[in-house]
Amino acid sequence: MNTQSHLFRGILTVFFLTATPCAFALDFRILNWDGNDLDLKYQHKSEKISLYTFEGALSPFYHYSEAKPLTLFKEKMIKEEVVKVPAMTTEVPAGLTQAILLIVPTSPDRSSYTALWIDDSPLIRPAGTLEFRNLSKHSVALQVAGQEMNLVPQAVQQLKFDPALKRVAFKAAVQIGAEWKLVTANPVPVRPNYRALIILRDARPSETAAVQIISFYDRPPTVDELAVLPPQ
């Protein structure tokens, strides 16, 4: 897609040059940036694990504890033999224990990907928060529960919301040249003990707005719950 080079120009340096191989247990979910792909797999110790990657929904949780980069691959039949064909290899940033792996196709047939890690731990993204990530090429002005902010491309902003509320007032406008154009003025639903990840991305050519807003809600495990999770 035409926004890939811009999307990762500013963030690859942060996530890949500072990353070190994973030497601890990691639980992660996957989000596909462009379309669905059910053919990806990865190897965890002796087990080959199939991945479910979708554009509009987070995958189930997957586990990885190898002290080496994570490689996603596809299987192809070559000369009557099933062969692993790597689609992407990524280092796991140091200290990451829970994450969302955002994968972006770099070829039309989705045979290759690049990736962005998002820290998804309850310490970084606790319940009762809205986290906004501007992965578009535009500056976006937000008004959330009376607070105003301007998110330049690649910026991240997190806000706490009142747990007594069922929805939060929300407006977003995008800067196109010297003008600001309203994207949405719809309230954001919220629930106690839940959190939301709200991604701002470049809209497709068929869409009227310049920026598309995608929201993901879940209830994170508490620190106490994490402490008693069974080993995997």
pLDDT in tens, 108-142: 999 999 999 999 999 999 999 999 999 999 999 99
Nearest in space to 68 (alpha carbons), one of 99, 118, 26: 26
pLDDT (0 to 100) of residue 109: 92
pLDDT in tens, 48-89: 999 999 998 999 999 999 989 999 999 998 888 889 999 999
Cβ atoms of 56 and 215 within 8 Å: the answer is: no
With respect to residue 230, please indicate whether it lies within any of the assigned structural domains.
no
Per-residue pLDDT for 171 more than 60?
A: yes
Q: Does 224 reside within a domain?
A: no
What residues have CB less than 8 Å from 222, skipping those under 6 apart? 122, 127
Tell me what pLDDT residue 215 has.
94
CB atoms within 10 A of CB 82: 8
Residues 149, 50, single domain; the answer is no
At residue 5, the 3 state secondary structure works out as helix
Among 109, 68, 108, 103, smallest CA distance to 88 is for 103
CATH number at residue 147: 2.60.40
Alpha-carbon span 19 to 13, nearest angstrom: 10
pTM: 0.82
The pLDDT assigned to 225 comes to: 53
What is the C-alpha separation between 110 and 209, in angstroms, rounded? 26
Give domain status of residue 96, yes or no: yes
Q: How far is CA 68 from CA 44, 62, 65, 116, in A?
A: 11, 16, 9, 17
Q: What is the pLDDT of residues 19-51, one digit of tens each?
A: 444 346 899 999 999 999 999 999 998 899 999
Q: Percent of the chain, pLDDT > 90?
A: 69
Q: Has residue 156 been placed in a domain?
A: yes
pLDDT at 82: 87
3, pLDDT greater than 70: no
The beta strands (E) that lie in 79-221 are given as 81-90, 98-105, 113-119, 129-134, 140-144, 147-151, 156-160, 167-168, 170-176, 179-184, 188-189, 195-202, 211-218
Q: How many distinct structural domains can be found in the chain?
A: 2
Q: Per-residue confidence at 222, pLDDT binned at 50, 70, 90?
A: low
What is the Cα–Cα distance from 32 to 53, expressed in whole angstroms? 6
Per the structure, the complete domain to which residue 11 belongs is given by 4-119
Considering the domain architecture, whether residues 114 and 133 belong to the same structural domain is answered as no
Same domain, 95 and 40: yes
Query: Do residue 148 and residue 112 come from a single domain?
Result: no
Are 113 and 134 contained in the same domain? no
Whether the pLDDT of residue 216 is over 60: the answer is yes
Asked if residues 118 and 132 have their Cβ atoms less than 8 Å apart, the reply is no
Encoded tokens for 171: 């407006």
The whole-number average pLDDT for the span 188-197 is 93
Give yes or no for a contact between 188 and 170, defined as CB atoms under 8 angstroms apart: yes
